[in-house]
Amino acid sequence: MKKTEKNNRIVWIIGVVLLWYVLIFSTIEFFVFNKWTIETVGLGGLSDGMLFIIEMYLSTIIGFLGIIVYTAVTKRNRFVLRSFLPGHANNSFGMLLKGLLVGFVMNFGCIICALVHGDIKLYLEFAVSQIPLLLFALVCVFIQSTTEELWCRGFMYERINVHYPLWVAIVVNGLFFAGMHVFNEGASFLPIFDIAICGLSFSLAKWYTGSIWFPMGIHTAWNFTQNFLFGLPNSGLVSECSVFTLDAANARTNLIYSASFGVEGAIPAVVADLILGLACLILAAKNGRLKELTMKREDL
C-alpha cells in the first residue's frame, strides 16, 4: 500500500519525468544526434538546414519512443498509453487538423503584431527545391511537439489526475512545461511566464476537447509556423531554413517581440494563450462542465 501511495504522489510523478525524459532520454538524444556523431557516421555532407532539423527536432524521437515504451511496459501506466491512441475519447485526425489550424492562427496573429509594430522585417527567399526539406521539417516538428505533449499533457496530466483534482494536474504540468524552457537562449521572466500560460491553456484544451491530439496539433503548427515558415526564433532556437528570412540584425525587443526568444517572449503570445484557455473555460461553463476541474479521473 505504501509503495502504491508513493508512486502516485506528485513529487514521484515529476521525478519519473525528470529522470526518464529530461535526464536519460535527453542525454541519449544529445550523444546520438549531435553534429559530431552525424559526421562520424558519414553524413557530414548534409546542409545546415538538415543538420538543424535533425539535431533540434528529429532527435526528440528518443523521448517519443521512450514514453510509448515506458507506458506500455509499466502496467499502472497503460491507461496513459491508451489515452494517446486514435479512437480514444475524441482522438481523431479531424481533431488534429483543428489543432493545426488553431496553432497557425495563434502564431500568425503574434507575427502580424510584430510586423505591424515594426519590430521585425521578413524577406521571402522560397525556392521549390526547399519543399522536401520543409516537409521533412514538418514531420520532425510534429515528433518534437508531440513528445512534449505526451510527457506533459499525457503522462503527467493523467497520472496526477488519478489521485488529485483535475485543476492540480493542469497547474502542475503547466508549470513544469515552463520550467523545461528556463535554460533556452534568451529566456527571461516574460517568455517563461508566457510558456507557463501556454502549458495551462494546452491542458485546458485537452480537457475541454477530450483529446490530446488537439494540443499536439496546436503545438506543432505553432513551432513550425514561427521557425520554418517565417524564420523566427522558436523559444530561442533559430532555424537554418525557412520560407521567409528574418532581418535579425534589425529586430527589436520590446513588449511586442523578443529578438532573442521570438514571439513567445512578448505580450501578444500571452494574450493568444490566454484567449485559448479562457475560450475553453467559457465553453465548458456553458455546458456545465466546470465542476469537472475539481474531480479526480475516476469521478469524471
Instruction: Supply the pLDDT for residue 35.
Output: 80
The CA R_g of the chain, rounded to the nearest whole Å, is 19
The stretch 238-261 carries a mean pLDDT of 94
Q: Any idea which residue has 469524471 for its cell?
A: 300
Q: Domain residues of the chain, as ranges?
A: 2-299
CB 33 within 8 A of CB 57: no
pLDDT tens readout for residues 182-240: 988 888 999 999 999 999 999 999 999 999 999 999 999 999 999 999 999 998 888 98
DSSP element (H, E) containing 139: helix 131-149
Query: Helix, strand, coil: what percent of the chain each, to 5?
Result: 75, 5, 25
pLDDT of 4 > 60? The answer is: no
Q: Are strands 244-246 and 122-124 parallel, antiparallel or unpaired?
A: antiparallel
d(CA 1, CA 182): 37
Q: So what's the pLDDT on residue 34?
A: 86
Mean pLDDT of 79-84: 97
Closest CA to 146 of 106, 96, 209, 109: 96
Q: What is the mean pLDDT of the chain?
A: 94
Query: Confidence band (pLDDT; 50, 70, 90) for 300?
Result: low
Residue 238 and residue 53: Cα distance in Å, rounded?
A: 11
Task: Classify the phi-psi angles of 118: left when phi > 0, otherwise alpha if psi is within -120 to 50, otherwise beta.
Answer: left
Q: How confident is the model at residue 29 (pLDDT cuts 50, 70, 90)?
A: very high
